[in-house]
Structure 1
Amino acid sequence: MALERPFQAPDQGWAWVVLTAVLISQGLALGFPSCVGVFYTDIQTAFQATNSETSWFPSIVTAVLHAGGPICSILVERYDCRVTVFIGGILASVGMVSSAFAQTLIQLYLTAGFITGLGLCLSFQAGITVLGYYFVRRRTLANALAATGASIGMAVYPVISQYLLDLIGWRGSFLIFGGVLLNSCACACLMRPNRPPPQALAGTQQSKEECRQITTPSRPLPSNHSMPTMLSSCGRILQKYMAFDLLCDNKLYQIYVLGITWMVLGFVLPLFYLVPYATSSGIEESRAALLLTIIGLVNIFGRPLAGLISQMACLKSRLFYVFSAAVMVNGVSNLIAAMWNNYAMLVLYCVVYSISMSFIASLVFQVLMDIVGMERFPGAFGLFTILESFTLLLGPPLAGFLADFTGHYHYIFYATTVNVCTAALFMGLSVFAFKRKEAKLRETAELTPREPLMDAPNKQEKGDQCCPEEIILKTI
């Protein structure tokens, strides 16, 4: 019988090995979606498709990458993060290998889109979750360092993709990527569970029993009780993995979810359309692919730096405002690409875009953890990813339709500017108004109890005028 490993103290020891494994798995999981633009034109030519039809492929990959959050949470709860990442690596590999033999766009949507996207989702989100169990005091820094893996993937994947595309075409490239993504399974082997299990973080035996009731099949009850029991179980599962109660009651969570859902409609579009936009402007494909590499290289240094800056004492209570400011800079940066399409200005755009992207990627999960707490993070994260996946799914096809309608790619960057900037204004101003209102309510609550104390002596002096019933009530 295998012995359970003792609980690992956070922020030390094996936690750094887990962080290294997560860093590599993040690079494998997020590197491929960022380089889809390299294959965009070749896939469009191979299937004789429009921009709108071709853009469904990257949109499905990205949407499923985020929408699989509840499935990932269930697998993490039922098994653990290690098994979940292992399953994700296998699914991603199978999807990429199958896509190399796709004969229609529908088949490509299913294989490289849905199957690979789900596998990447399990690897990505389970990796983020395991860091929450191994890091507490340095969690912001750990998230930022893990996000560096995605930056390395963004820097390496475009160069390798362009080389493989020139050498063996997009089908051979996808076949190679199928083997590369299997390395996520090796990373999963290092993510050993941190005992006690995640539900013990609640600190009570009651929470452990509730988790067991949700995840363990119960015996069938009599028929007159089966329907209420099923509804009750469904309600507990939804609350645990989808956190609808937070969306109804937590104002900050409402603002954050709505703002991010609106932001991602345009936030990822430059990663898909930057290379086609550059090549349509007369820039060579190899130089155009280097633009994505520049974004990845800047992110490698930008994300850890953003994590360190975010840990400064003066910013600890203002992370939401820092995040909103980074979103605003990211939105405004798209004007550079929209107004100037020469290579020097596009390089400048990539630098500004990636610096702001570094802060966004480093803070997006930390802000969510600060809002809901680690205990409710899996459910809040699941609902958060489900909602944003809808706009992630619609963004690229809408941008493709805009490119087909206008005949130019630069209108996509104008639309992205408007979309991302309005999301930043909504989040920043809404949080400012909410906290100001909360502060006024707190001041009112502090002043209100003092008034009866000031009147107490007068009431005691007039005690002989009170009726017996009032004296009894006061005594009680």
Structure 2
Amino acid sequence: MSRTLERQESGWAWVVLLASMLSQGLTLGFPTCTGVFFTQLQHDFQASNSETSWFPSILTAVLHAGGPLCSILVGHFGCRSTVMLGGMLACLGLVTSSFSTTLSQLYVTAGLITGLGMCFSFQASITVLGYYFSRRRALANALASVGVSLGIMLWPLLSRYLLEDLGWRGTFFVFGGILLHCCVSGAILRPVAPMVAPEPREGLPPPSKKPASGCLAGCSRAIQQHLALDLFLHNPGYRAYTLGVMWMMVGFPLPHVFLVPYAMRHEVDERRAALLISIIGFSNIFLRPVAGLVAGHRRLAAHRTHLFILATLLNGLTNLVCVASADFGVLVGYCLVYSVSMSGIGTLLFQVLMDIVPTDRFSSALGLFTVLESISILIAPPIAGFLLDTTSDYRYVFYMSSFFLISAALFMGTSFCVLQKKEKQGRQAEVGGASAEQDLTHEGPESSRKQLYPEIMYVTSL
């Protein structure tokens, strides 16, 4: 077994890592450039801020919400086919969106179809790293996430460059061809032995034993496997964290959509306005690996939840600095500080989830987590757009973002403090009950002392 792992983590595994890095840069980095097209889309379709903002919100929400469907495809067809299917869907969506005559058509093509394709390519490219890496899996995930930072840096610059010569229609057409390179990344993902084994289907009973189970029973088993509703109801830590992140995500994506229009409204040059998003991406290239090393340190591993809460709080406070001035120098400083908190959130978001839920339930817990998270991502930009239409002041969008981020941090911090206090009281009650029972069953002080230490060791090991 060890020889198999060593063979997987050498040679072709690093080529797979590069392919995963490319796929993540093409997909997860793309939504950050949608703010570059915001003003021109609004002008061409004669639409309000709220109507225009539905395009990036649908794209990003579907990218996150399609996780359970992607896991089903990976279980049946493997990571290679799923990534290639995602690349073709993303290409199809953007190419057809270049011919859209209404915003509703853009919602379906560039929003729904492209978002679903990006979801398949992105999430399958992460899944495949678990098959190729075991001992160095944390390092592989950290290196692969650098692709996201590269995408955040390069997509806005390329968007601004093409937009000047080709307009948004020609740019979307070219972007469709670029996203087709996800198929190249998928072709590199050569199947390995664990991918061939039918492990994803072990949780489902064989159809031959229960042929008359019915559609309802099958749906119930699928929901249990991919959406951890029971865990949400009975695990207070998972429930508090999921609700906190869901609330936080109403404010977190807003700067990615509205920062460029906000800078342009205050007479910042279009190229320099697009450069702001690239500064965030460039900073994350270096900050994400550092954040991963800090989060993985043995002394800080038990405090990942607190680090995530602090990163969320810092992100919300940073947005308040942004609205103080729209000068380009101030906005550059805002982007640098924002990158620190953003890298912390991006690195710890799923690490904290792994710490909260049992290992064997992580897949289903992640499915429900991403679906609920996508609801917030879907409604956040339209709500901010409606606020902007009402007030005609971009500062209120950033105030809104700060409110949701800061309140989410306070909610999660309070919730976990209460849960930790209850857990501590429960352990003390267990120790006290064990001591009282020993006092009743063992009369002599020496025998009592001998029986007490094994019980304390047992409670501590929990």
Do these two structures clear the TM 0.5 threshold for a shared fold by scoring above it? yes
Matched, 1:371 2:356: yes
CA gap 1:83/1:453 in 2 versus in 1, 3 angstroms:
same
Alpha-carbon distance in 2 for matches of 1:252, 1:173: 45
The answer for the alignment partner of 1:413 in structure 2 is 398
Three-state SS of the structure 2 residue aligned to 1:313 is coil
Q: Residue 161 of structure 1: which of 135, 138, 159 is its match?
A: 159
CA gap 1:10/1:261 in 2 versus in 1, 3 angstroms:
farther
Matched, 1:233 2:226: no
Alpha-carbon distance in 1 for matches of 2:122, 2:292: 19
Unaligned runs of 5+ in 1: 1-5, 202-206, 460-476
Q: Is the contact between residue 22 and residue 187 of structure 1 (CA under 8 Å) also seen in structure 2? A: yes
Three-state SS of the structure 2 residue aligned to 1:376 is helix
The answer for the alignment partner of 2:98 in structure 1 is 100
Q: Is the contact between residue 62 and residue 115 of structure 2 (CA under 8 Å) also seen in structure 1? A: yes
After TM superposition, list the pairs within 5 Å mapping 1:63-462 onto structure 2: 63-197=61-195, 209-211=202-204, 213=206, 221=211, 226=212, 229-457=214-442
Q: Is the contact between residue 131 and residue 194 of structure 2 (CA under 8 Å) also seen in structure 1? A: no
Alpha-carbon distance in 1 for matches of 2:133, 2:344: 20
Q: Is the contact between residue 60 and residue 113 of structure 1 (CA under 8 Å) also seen in structure 2? A: yes
CA gap 1:198/1:261 in 2 versus in 1, 3 angstroms:
farther
Larger Rg: 1
Q: CA deviation at 1:344?
A: 0.7
Q: Is the contact between residue 131 and residue 195 of structure 2 (CA under 8 Å) also seen in structure 1? A: no
Paired residue type of 2:49: N
The answer for the alignment partner of 1:470 in structure 2 is none
Q: What per-residue deviation string (whole Å, max 9, x for no partner) do you get for residues 38-97 of structure 1? A: 011111111011101100001100111111111111111122222211111110000000
Q: Is the contact between residue 295 and residue 301 of structure 2 (CA under 8 Å) also seen in structure 1? A: yes
Q: Is the contact between residue 199 and residue 208 of structure 1 (CA under 8 Å) also seen in structure 2? A: no
Q: Is the contact between residue 316 and residue 403 of structure 2 (CA under 8 Å) also seen in structure 1? A: yes
Identity within the alignment, %: 50
Q: CA deviation at 1:320?
A: 1.1
CA gap 1:448/1:72 in 2 versus in 1, 3 angstroms:
same
The answer for the alignment partner of 2:448 in structure 1 is none
Q: CA deviation at 1:267?
A: 0.3
The answer for the alignment partner of 1:474 in structure 2 is none
Q: CA deviation at 1:458?
A: 6.2
Q: CA deviation at 1:249?
A: 1.7
Q: CA deviation at 1:369?
A: 2.2
Q: What per-residue deviation string (whole Å, max 9, x for no partner) do you get for residues 383-413 of structure 1? A: 1111111111110000001111001111100
Q: CA deviation at 1:218?
A: 5.2
CA gap 1:448/1:194 in 2 versus in 1, 3 angstroms:
farther
How well do the aligned residues superpose, as a CA RMSD in angstroms? 2.1
Alpha-carbon distance in 1 for matches of 2:226, 2:170: 38
Q: Is the contact between residue 331 and residue 421 of structure 1 (CA under 8 Å) also seen in structure 2? A: yes
Alpha-carbon distance in 2 for matches of 1:388, 1:283: 33
Q: Is the contact between residue 75 and residue 201 of structure 2 (CA under 8 Å) also seen in structure 1? A: no
Matched, 1:12 2:4: no
Q: Residue 25 of structure 2: which of 24, 27, 33 is its match?
A: 27
Tell me the TM-score normalized by structure 2. Answer: 0.91
More off after superposition, 94-103 vs 16-25: 16-25
CA gap 1:171/1:438 in 2 versus in 1, 3 angstroms:
same
CA gap 1:209/1:278 in 2 versus in 1, 3 angstroms:
closer
Q: CA deviation at 1:243?
A: 1.3
Q: CA deviation at 1:441?
A: 0.6
Q: CA deviation at 1:299?
A: 0.7
Alpha-carbon distance in 1 for matches of 2:442, 2:260: 78
Q: CA deviation at 1:313?
A: 1.2
Paired residue type of 1:46: D
Unaligned runs of 5+ in 2: 445-462
Q: Is the contact between residue 8 and residue 195 of structure 1 (CA under 8 Å) also seen in structure 2? A: no
